[in-house]
Chains A and B, each alone.
Chain A
Amino acid sequence: ETGVTQTPRHLVMGMTNKKSLKCEQHLGHNAMYWYKQSAKKPLELMFVYSLEERVENNSVPSRFSPECPNSSHLFLHLHTLQPEDSALYLCASSQDRNSNQPQHFGDGTRLSIL
């Protein structure tokens, strides 16, 4: 149990579908993150939210739309994805006021685009 829960664990979708990934943290943290992990590539930071405000968007295509309604929940809305978007999507959280505290990760959602 990491304190960061991601659903669904696996997702298969067509390129025209709309789906959402969900992340919930039970650690009282106030910063949350989305990462993309593709085969043979380093983890790529996609979005950062601190105190429910987006503070970083690493040039992610608009077909990925994050939402952070409160400090415990983070969503990634998906629309019109491409085959190269197939990857493991990891959510993490941290206590942003203590920057020496590590990020805690969820188990990820394995996304496959048909």
Chain B
Amino acid sequence: AQTVTQSQPEMSVQEAETVTLSCTYDTSENNYYLFWYKQPPSRQMILVIRQEAYKQQNATENRFSVNFQKAAKSFSLKISDSQLGDTAMYFCAFMKPLIIQGAQKLVFGQGTRLTINP
């Protein structure tokens, strides 16, 4: 079974600083997807960034980038020039398609509560 571990329950940085959230996972699969989701106090889970395991290039989305180390099974999220609106819970998630009918099965980590201070 796949597992996802986020070892940092809480983090706090000053506005405009760079912060890195760590995530490790365990799987025997070779082809899969990894995601970072953000959940602000409004509760809505918002996709931040995703990475396909077969791609060696790290994904980037504006101020958000990942460091994907497949051999180490590590998938960290870097937030550059952090903003107050980045305050949220951040969840790392692993996905491979379900065999039956191709539906997805996401496995989430425990989450990291990130606070950006003014």
Which B residues are in CB contact (< 8 Å) with A108?
A: 43-44
A40–B43 contact, CB under 8 A?
A: no
Out of A2, A96, A107, A110, name the residue touching B101 (CB < 8 Å).
A96
Which residues A56-114 have CB closer than 8 A to chain B?
56, 88, 90, 92, 94, 96-97, 99-100, 102-108, 110
- CB-CB contacts of B57-86 with A at 8 A, as 1s and 0s? 000000000000000000000000000000
Out of B102, B105, B109, B111, name the residue touching A56 (CB < 8 Å).
B105
Out of B37, B42, B96, B104, name the residue touching A96 (CB < 8 Å).
B104
A42–B111 contact, CB under 8 A?
A: yes
Q: How many A-B residue pairs have CB under 8 A?
A: 78
Which B residues are in CB contact (< 8 Å) with A53?
A: 101
B102–A97 contact, CB under 8 A?
A: yes
A113 CB to closest chain B CB, in angstroms? 18
A103–B106 contact, CB under 8 A?
A: yes
* Cα separation A25 to B52 with both chains bound (whole Å): 26
B47 touches A (CB below 8 Å): yes
The chain A residue sitting closest to B111, CB to CB, is A42
Chain B residues at the A interface, C-beta cutoff of 8 Å: 4, 33, 35, 37, 42-47, 50, 52, 91, 95-98, 100-111
9 closest A-B pairs by CB = A105-B45, A50-B103, A99-B97, A50-B101, A43-B108, A42-B108, A31-B103, A96-B103, A102-B47
